Structures are given as C-alpha cells and as structure tokens.
Amino acid sequence: MIIYQRRSPVVFPSRPLKTDIRDNWTVVLEYADEGDGPYVIDLSHKVKWDVQSADISNIKPFGLTIPEKPGECLFKNSVLAGRLNRTQAMVWDLSETPSETPDQNSFTDVTEAQLLMAIVGREASQIFEKLTALDFNDPGKKSPYVLQGPVSHVPSRVVSLRSSEPPVFLLSCSRGYGHSMVEAVLDAGREWDMTAAGENMFLSFF
C-alpha cells in the first residue's frame, strides 16, 4: 500500500526539535531557539474549507452560525468561520485533532491548496504594515475578522484572530507562493528578531 506523504509549502530555516506525524503530515511541534517572539508558525496542516451556497446563512458548520456581514468571523471551540461575500465563507479547524469534512456539497477541502501561517506577538500589526496596505488598525473592526487582498503582492486572506496580548494574525494564500511568502514574512519581522515556532506555541495561546 502506498502512503501519500503530505508536505507543507512552508519551510523555515530553523531546526525542528519535536515533530509529530498527523494524517500523513509532518507537524513541527517545537523548533530549537524559539526565543521570546514575535513568532511565525506554520499551520498549513490545519483543515481548511471553502463554503459556497446561495443560502449560506443556513449552513451551520460544527454548530457555528456563519456571520452575516462580509469580513466578520466567529471563533469558537478552535473553529474559525468567516464570511467572505454573499455566497462564500471560509471555515478553518485550528484544533489539535481536526474534524472530518461535513457531509455537504457546499464544503470544499482546500487544506493542501493553501498555506496557513500564524504571526504572533505585539509587533504583529507592524510586521503586516510592511507586507500589505490592508488596514488592521481600523478602530471600527473587532477581532476576529478577515480581510482579503494582496500581501507582498500575493492574493491572500488575513485574519485578525485576536487583538489582545499577544495579538494573533493568520495569513493564508495559494501554496505555490510558500517559499516567497516565508521569505517576505521573515524579512518583515527581522528587526524584531522574529523566529519560527512550532504548533505547541500556537496552542499555548488558546
């Protein structure tokens, strides 16, 4: 029997200290010399779905109600549901033990098609100011919310997951941009000594 090995599009120039094999993904739990932050964390193995329906308001993934207004998100029990437009939403399962794809035609699993990184630390919004013109300082927006637009010239979705200490942002785009996006993020965070961290660091904030 051939076992399909899944590979993350995100590779950091750091030495993995602890890893785990999960659903054929090699998940880095901890890197050597993680430091005190800010951190960039690979979450590409987390299950991600695009949801499309003309009646999307009546779809309740894992008991969550998809917000009515585009840009609004709901984060509960480690599941993030965000409204993108009138007929489209995104659902990301950020738990340690991901859920199965709901048995509905509206859900498309895009886990392997998209990279996902978390940027964590009080300097996170300043790091994004170097990467994008998207406005994460709008006082009218309350986390969690999602903005769509170019990040380092790449079409992306960015979620402000938490604005309190430490702020947590999630960045997703097509996996084909993985190498370039890692370089751009690390370069933007260099002046604050940004380091790569493993999944354990991300889970410790929730």
Give per-residue pLDDT as tens, 9-57. 999 999 999 999 988 899 999 999 898 989 999 999 999 999 999 888 8
* 167 and 182 inside one domain: yes
* 124 and 185 inside one domain: yes
pTM: 0.94
The rounded distance, in Å, linking the Cα atoms of 109 and 123 is 32
* 78 and 41 inside one domain: no
- SS3 (DSSP) at 87: coil
Task: State the residue range of the domain holding 105.
Answer: 47-109
In the chain, the number of structural domains is 2
Q: What is the DSSP letter of 190?
A: G
* 116 and 73 inside one domain: no
Give per-residue pLDDT as tens, 146-192. 999 999 999 999 999 998 889 999 999 999 999 999 999 999 999 99
Residues in the chain: 206
* 68 and 104 inside one domain: yes
DSSP H/E element including 178: helix 178-188
Last residue of one domain, picked from the residues 109, 141, 163 = 109
- CB 131 within 8 Å of CB 151: yes
- SS3 (DSSP) at 174: strand
Last residue of one domain, picked from the residues 56, 84, 109 = 109
- For residue 63 the two structure tokens come to 């008991």
Give the residue among 91, 100, 104, 101 at the shortest CA–CA distance from 64: 91
Nearby residues of 32 by Cβ (< 8 Å), 6 or more positions away: 14, 15, 16, 17
